[in-house]
Structure 1
Amino acid sequence: MQARHILLKTPLLVEPIMQAIEQGADFAQLAREHSACPSRSHGGDWGQLDQTTLPKAIIDALMEANVGSVIGPIESRHGLHLIKLESISAA
Structure 2
Amino acid sequence: MLRIKARHIQVSTPELANEVMVKWQQGADFGELARVYSECPTARQGGSLGEFGPGHMAPELEPVFLQGDIGDVYGPVATANGYHLVEVLARTDYA
Distance across 2 between alignment mates of 1:39 and 1:52: 19
Q: Equivalent residue for 1:13?
A: 16
With the length of structure 1 as denominator, give the TM-score of the two structures. 0.92
Distance across 1 between alignment mates of 2:16 and 2:6: 20
Q: How does 1:22-37 map to 2 (within 5 A)?
A: 22-37=25-40
Q: Does 1:55 align with 2:75?
A: no
Q: Equivalent residue for 1:4?
A: 7
Contact 2:18 2:76 in 1 (8 A): no
Q: Please provide the CA RMSD for this pair.
A: 1.2
Unaligned runs of 5+ in 2: none
With the length of structure 2 as denominator, give the TM-score of the two structures. 0.88
Unaligned runs of 5+ in 1: none
**% identity of equivalent residues:** 32
SS in 2 for 1:3: strand
1:2-44, Cα deviation, whole Å (9 max, x unpaired): 0010001122212221111111110000000000000000000
SS in 1 for 2:60: helix
Q: In the comparison of the two structures, how many residue pairs are matched?
A: 91
Distance across 1 between alignment mates of 2:53 and 2:41: 17
Match of 1:40 among 33, 39, 43: 43
More helix by share: 1
More strand by share: 2
Q: Equivalent residue for 2:73?
A: 70
Distance across 2 between alignment mates of 1:58 and 1:12: 19
Distance across 2 between alignment mates of 1:56 and 1:12: 22
